[in-house]
Amino acid sequence: MDAHPIYDLRSDTVTRPTPAMRAAMLAAEVDDAAYGDDPVVCALEAEVAALLGKPAAIWVPTGTMANQIGVAVHTRRGDTLACVPGAHVRIHEDASAAALWGVQAMPIGDRRGFTVHALAALLDEVACGWPPIGLVWLENTLGEAGGAIWPLTGCHDGRDGLSEVAAFARAQGCAVHLDGARLWNAHVATGIGMDRWAQAGDTVSVSLSKGLGAPAGSLLAGSTEIIARARRLAHGLGGAMRQAPAMLAAAGRYALAHHIDRLADDHRRARRLAAGIADLPHWDVPEPETNLICCRVRAPIERAELLCVALRAAGIRCNPNIAREVRLAVHLDLDDTAIDAVIERVHHTLGSDPGRFAPITS
């Protein structure tokens, strides 16, 4: 390939720390986070807990660890957790809930959420011998649905909002976890405060590396008792990283201060990118709600990977979202000029004949 710049749209986790974020990391006061002595980590945990309206929070290195601790503190072996079919905890965490805790993910609803009625129907089956539902799992934004927002209250399409589902779940004795890895995007897109979103979950996980540009780090927030248990679990899972969390927490604190409001730029650019490539006959491209774009391939194309191969060869890094969707993620390393260049290169690479990407038949 020639020397054209490479544009990485695989995820909003591919960003590099900005110079100012690197400076904040370098200046971080460092102590042993495993003993709870690191002032930067403690400050970040207190800041995120307050932002989410929870009594306490714990920093862990990854979102998967935050989510898996969320599973562990709410369930017993042999339980199930009810989640949307494409939930991160079910699809992208290597079946950890089953492998670590003996908890089965039970899909419910569709990629954009589920209703109180559907949850009630699933709970009814428990009386018929199905395994007990120990945890109701919410996600916002919905990654597999292209960063769609699960509204806080009643949805226009008939689905119930997070608050209605959570209230019903608790009334039935189920705990509720909110996977809010990209909750920042829902907050910026709607103007609804992070604490109001977080009320839906007994525990809430948020990511500092998705959209906010930190190199690593997620937090789990909840009650003081739950977070005390979470600290032991994090240690057992290898999350005691000694001095490293100080520098990563410094990056996280910088991200909270400087990179939340600017997510509106990502949303605007995602809409611009989607509009700029929607006229191609290869796919259907709905307008994105936040920063993720899912382009569903049209016949005669049968696999999104065929398009991704061509785009990667042209310097546009991307992957399938599911087998028949190309996913493009907009993030802080892509400015307006980059978006325009991506639109031009997608058109040039894919051309006007989708038949080029059809399966070869004998």
d(CA 347, CA 307): 12
d(CA 24, CA 294): 35
Global pTM?
0.95
Of the pLDDT bands very low, low, confident and very high (cuts 50, 70, 90), residue 167 is very high
Of the pLDDT bands very low, low, confident and very high (cuts 50, 70, 90), residue 6 is very high
- For residue 155, the model assigns a pLDDT of 65
Q: What is the mean pLDDT of residues 104-114?
A: 95
Specify whether the CB–CB gap between 12 and 329 falls below 8 A: yes
Specify whether the CB–CB gap between 245 and 59 falls below 8 A: yes
Instruction: Name the superfamily (CATH) of residues 7-14+262-357.
Output: Aspartate Aminotransferase, domain 1 (3.90.1150.10)
d(CA 295, CA 196): 31
- For residue 4, the model assigns a pLDDT of 81
CA torsion angle for 252, 175, 161, 206 (degrees, to 10)?
Answer: 10
| Helix segments in the chain, DSSP class H | 19-26, 39-52, 63-74, 88-91, 96-101, 116-126, 162-171, 183-190, 194-198, 224-236, 244-258, 263-277, 304-313, 336-350
d(CA 271, CA 288): 6
Q: What is the mean pLDDT of residues 43-58?
A: 98
In this structure, of 7-11, 32-36, 356-360, the range with the lowest mean pLDDT score is 32-36
Over the chain, what is the mean pLDDT? Answer: 94
Segments of the chain assigned to CATH 3.40.640.10: 31-258
Q: What is the mean pLDDT of residues 7-35?
A: 92
What is the third-level CATH fold of 31-258?
Answer: Aspartate Aminotransferase; domain 2 (3.40.640)
179: enclosing H helix or E strand: strand 175-180
Q: What is the mean pLDDT of residues 187-196?
A: 98
- For residue 110, the model assigns a pLDDT of 94
Residue 1 confidence (pLDDT) above 50: no
Of the pLDDT bands very low, low, confident and very high (cuts 50, 70, 90), residue 37 is confident
For the chain, percent of residues with pLDDT exceeding 70: 97
Is 147 in a helix, a strand, or coil? coil
More confident residue, 15 or 244: 15
Residue position matching structure tokens 């054209």: 4
Angle subtended by helix axes 263-277 and 336-350, to nearest 10: 20
Of the pLDDT bands very low, low, confident and very high (cuts 50, 70, 90), residue 361 is low
Instruction: State whether the Cα torsion 115-190-148-138 is positive or negative.
Output: negative
- For residue 142, the model assigns a pLDDT of 97
Segments of the chain assigned to CATH 3.90.1150.10: 7-14+262-357
Angle subtended by helix axes 183-190 and 263-277, to nearest 10: 90
Neighbours of 12 (CB within 10 A): 27
Residue position matching structure tokens 């802080």: 332
